[in-house]
């Protein structure tokens, strides 16, 4: 049951278990892509994390709620576009110098 006050909606990085989908190797970036279903509200989150070795403050993550249909179809290489296509997302990391905020649209995953 979806609720509007579930803890998974708070703007912070997810803990807990995830289903790892693989790495997005687009432009050599090795983004880690995973899906997490919130056990409290059943929302499915698509989670993306990338960092660039040798570049300090390069790590960043994004996550967005996706439909079950999109979750079944998504591949590591299509994850960035799918997150960008959602009405909003949560993102953070040292690249942005914050631990989590809500945003929408642009997904900045390249160096
Ligand atoms: Zn939830």
Q: How far is the CA of 46 from the centre of ligand 1 (A)?
A: 13
Q: Which domain holds residue 16?
A: 7-103
Identify which of 61, 59, 51, 54 has the alpha carbon closest to the alpha carbon of residue 30.
Answer: 51
| Residue 77 within a domain | yes
Q: How far is the CA of 41 from the centre of ligand 1 (A)?
A: 4
Q: How far is the CA of 66 from the centre of ligand 1 (A)?
A: 13
| Residue 110 within a domain | no
Q: From CA 29, how far away is CA 11, in angstroms rounded? A: 24
| Residue 111 within a domain | no
Q: How far is the CA of 71 from the centre of ligand 1 (A)?
A: 16
| Residue 95 within a domain | yes
Residue 2, pLDDT score: 59
pTM comes to 0.93
Considering its fold, how many domains does the chain have in total?
1
Residue 14, pLDDT score: 83
Residue 17, pLDDT score: 77
Residue 1, pLDDT score: 54
- Residues of the chain short of pLDDT 70, as ranges, are 1-2, 16
Asked whether the beta carbons of 81 and 65 are under 8 A apart, the reply is no
| Cβ < 5 A residues, ion ligand 1 | 6, 8, 38, 40-41
| Residue 46 within a domain | yes
Q: From CA 92, how far away is CA 41, in angstroms rounded? A: 22
């Amino acid at each position: 049951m979806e609720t509007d006050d579930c803890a998974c909606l708070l703007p912070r990085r997810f803990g807990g278990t995830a289903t790892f989908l693989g790495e997005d190797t687009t432009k050599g970036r090795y983004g880690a892509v995973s899906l997490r279903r919130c056990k409290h509200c059943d929302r499915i989150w698509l989670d993306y994390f990338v960092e660039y070795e040798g570049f300090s403050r390069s790590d960043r993550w994004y996550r967005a709620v996706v439909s079950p249909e999109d979750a079944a179809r998504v591949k590591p290489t299509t994850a960035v576009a799918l997150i960008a296509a959602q009405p909003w997302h949560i993102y953070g990391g040292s690249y942005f110098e914050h631990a989590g905020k809500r945003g929408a649209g642009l997904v900045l995953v390249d160096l």
